[in-house]
Every structure is written in C-alpha cells, then in structure tokens.
Amino acid sequence: MKTFKEYVRDYKAEYKKFQSSPERIKYRAELVKYNRDKGTYGNGDKKDASHKDGKIVGFEAQSKNRGRVEASRIKKNTEVDEDKKKDALKLALAIRNFKKRGGKIDKQPENMEKWWGQLSPEDKKRAKNIAQYKKNKKK
C-alpha cells in the first residue's frame, strides 16, 4: 500500500524539471529575444509575444496569451457516468430545497407516540421537556 507521501505530487519539482529542459529554455529565449528586438521587454506594457502554430505572430495582452487553453490540456473522451450525474442532481436539488426552507429541518411531529409507538416513561418525560423547551424558545 502506498503512503500519503507517495500519492502527493511535487508540483514544484515537476515544474522545475519541465522548465529546465533544453526545448523550453530555447523557446523562452526566442520569446524574450523577440520582445527585446521590438523594444517591449520590461517596459511594463503588459504585452507578450503571441505564438500560434509554433511561430511568433505579434503581441497580445498577457492575460489572453497565458490564459489560452492549449490542445494538450484539453481532456479527451471524458465519459460521464449517468448514475453519478443523477445522484449529483438529486443532491443539488435537496440542498436547494434545504436552503429555500431557510436551512431548517422539517418540524418533528407533535404526537411522538403516534410515530414511535409506546414510549417509556423516561422518554415521555424527555419528549415533554423538549416540547416545553421549544415552546418557550418560540416566545
């Protein structure tokens, strides 16, 4: 059986390994060189060299350029289990109804003996105390 540490990914190490590969270093150097040649490197204009199909095509806002979903990150052929989907919908509906009622659980029945049969004298006393407490709390 795997330990917790074996399950946990070291994202920092993965990122460092990926960004230190010769291909990534070359790619970043190419983008920086383009920015320097155009006179925009480090001037704070919040623009990046935009790239499509492996070629630099101009400048684009950082947020747009860095936020674009790459083809390698798109999940392919994700199958949704219908039962899980139905369960999730039921749960969402139950939560919605619960919140709609003010987040309160339905009231307990007034006549407890009707619902739980004959109660012992101790349970009757507890039930009476609870009912009295609720009544006093409402006032």
Question: Do residues 60 and 48 touch, judged by C-beta distance below 8 A?
Answer: yes
Predicted structure pTM score: 0.40
Q: Of 30, 26, 35, 33, which Cα lies nearest the Cα of 62? A: 35
In tens digits, the chain (139 residues) has pLDDT values of 567 666 777 888 888 888 899 988 998 888 888 888 888 888 888 888 887 777 888 888 888 877 776 666 666 665 656 777 778 888 888 888 777 777 665 555 566 556 666 777 787 788 888 888 888 887 7
CB within 8 A of 65, min separation 6: which ones? Answer: 48, 50
